[in-house]
Amino acid sequence: MPSLTVEARPQNLKKLRAFVEEGARQAGFDRRGVYAVALAVDEAAANIMEHGYRGAGGLITCSWELHPRGLAITLHDTGQACDPNNVPPPDLDSGLFERKAGGLGVHLMRQMMDEIRYRSTAEGNFLTLIKHRPQEH
């Protein structure tokens, strides 16, 4: 299973995106699917950097494997547990001045993926993102 470990710094988001884009291409995703995979992983990793490690740094290990219906990506970190499934839905429709920007990243991640699994263990946190190929929903 290909894997990549990086320091939890925003400068490494592009490496993580390039790494999972390769997995998405191997899984047979088209341009839109590859973009969706990169965006979901970027949002997930940015959240780990900001909320999991609280900007203090640490390591993120990203791995991907071909899944019978598409691609499965796992992000591992040892920061504070942050289950994206506990993040409330964002404000999508209030007016400009009332609009809050929180939760947009997790929302995009959910929209881009078919399944999101989260486990927090003694070995750290494991976030698994699964995306199906379009014809296999």
Rule CB under 8 A: which residues touch other proteins? 10-11, 13-14, 17, 31-32, 35, 38-39, 42-43, 46, 49-50, 90-93, 96-97, 99, 101, 104-105, 107-108, 111
Q: How far is the CB of 20 from other proteins (least distance, A)?
A: 13
Query: Which among 36, 17, 16, 3 is positioned nearest to 133, based on CA atoms?
Result: 36
Q: How far is the CB of 59 from other proteins (least distance, A)?
A: 17
Query: Which among 66, 84, 74, 41 is positioned nearest to 132, based on CA atoms?
Result: 66
Query: Which among 2, 16, 105 is positioned nearest to 59, based on CA atoms?
Result: 16
Query: Which among 24, 33, 23, 29 is positioned nearest to 3, based on CA atoms?
Result: 23
Q: How far is the CB of 7 from other proteins (least distance, A)?
A: 13
User: What dihedral do alpha carbons 51, 57, 61, 67 form, nearest 10°?
Assistant: 20
Q: Measured from the CB atom, is 68 or 95 closer to other proteins?
A: 95
Q: Measured from the CB atom, is 83 or 91 closer to other proteins?
A: 91
Q: Map tokens 């590859």 to a residue.
A: 34
Q: How far is the CB of 98 from other proteins (least distance, A)?
A: 10
Q: Measured from the CB atom, is 86 or 121 closer to other proteins?
A: 86
